[in-house]
């Protein structure tokens, strides 16, 4: 009989420890970390979608505006640089890696913006169905990128906060001591200044 009570006591202790661990935030840190990594995968997916659209856009513009070679070359080079800079989930704690990724993507955004502005000079290009479809897809992708970045920032903020707040800070200092805060996207340099409008 005492053996039965001993086994029941051990089982109750194991269940109690399990409930205590699950209720005190032990699982919060890895859960939030995985959510942030998943949001990062969404960001990469949207940037890849944009990179995949660019060759078709360049080819379409090239057919109508071959003399805009500098803008076309700038887009191709910026795309090549942007696709070379990779940040995998294990590097999300390195702000320099994330900044390099962000800078490469910003250069591509700028080159694309200049290319789309050039299209204003070519009425035939602006009315081309293929160009209009690609432009629409790019605009949609830019919106998806903004949403994916926002979701990533929210997930990183929740993860980083969990590393510093009670009760999860206890686990962050003990069981997850090797885990570092993740880097967030930052505003582009000069984005705090309003654009100059000249008439």
CA distances in angstroms from 174 to 3, 26, 54, 177, 178, listed in the order given: 35, 10, 47, 5, 9
Q: Is residue 65 part of a domain?
A: yes
Q: What pLDDT sits at residue 125?
A: 85
Under the banding of pLDDT at 50, 70 and 90, the label for residue 199 is: very low
pLDDT grade for 26, boundaries at 50, 70 and 90: confident
Domain presence at residue 2 = no
190 is a domain residue: no
Kindly report the average pLDDT of the chain as a whole number.
86
Does residue 119 lie within any of the structural domains?
Answer: yes
The DSSP secondary structure of 118-172, one letter per residue, reads HGGG-HHHHT-HHHHHHHHHHHHHHHHHHHHHHHHHHHHHHHHHHHHSTTHHHHH
Range of the domain at 139: 29-173
Q: Identify the pLDDT of residue 193.
A: 53
- Looking up tokens 């409930």, which residue turns up? 19
40: tokens are: 């990062």
For the chain, the domain total comes to: 1
Q: Please tell me whether residue 18 adopts helix, strand or coil conformation.
A: helix
Q: Evaluate whether residue 193 is within a structural domain.
A: no
> Which of helix, strand or coil describes residue 25?
coil
Residue 87, domain CATH: 1.20.1440.20
CA–CA separation, 52 and 107 (whole Å): 16
pLDDT tens-digit profile of 52-106? 999 999 888 888 887 788 888 999 999 999 999 999 999 999 999 999 999 999 9
**Residue 19 lies inside a defined structural domain of this protein:** no
- Write out pLDDT tens, residues 127-148: 888 888 999 999 999 999 999 9
């Amino acid at each position: 009989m005492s053996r039965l009570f001993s086994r029941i006591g051990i089982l109750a202790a194991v269940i109690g420890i399990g409930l205590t661990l699950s209720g005190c935030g032990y699982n919060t840190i890895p859960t939030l970390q995985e959510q942030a990594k998943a949001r990062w995968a969404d960001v990469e997916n949207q940037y890849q979608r944009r990179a995949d659209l660019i060759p078709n856009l360049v080819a379409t513009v090239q057919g109508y505006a071959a003399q805009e070679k500098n803008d076309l070359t700038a887009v191709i080079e910026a795309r090549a640089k942007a696709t070379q800079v990779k940040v995998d989930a294990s590097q999300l704690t390195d702000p320099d890696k994330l900044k390099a990724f962000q800078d490469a993507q910003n250069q591509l955004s700028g080159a694309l913006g200049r290319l789309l502005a050039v299209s204003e000079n070519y009425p035939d290009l602006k009315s081309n169905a293929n160009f209009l479809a690609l432009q629409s897809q790019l605009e949609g992708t830019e919106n998806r990128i903004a949403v994916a970045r926002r979701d990533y920032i929210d997930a990183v903020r929740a993860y980083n906060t969990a590393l510093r707040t009670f009760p999860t800070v206890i686990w962050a200092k003990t069981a997850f001591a090797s885990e570092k805060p993740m880097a967030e996207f930052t505003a582009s340099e000069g984005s705090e200044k309003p654009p100059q409008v000249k008439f």
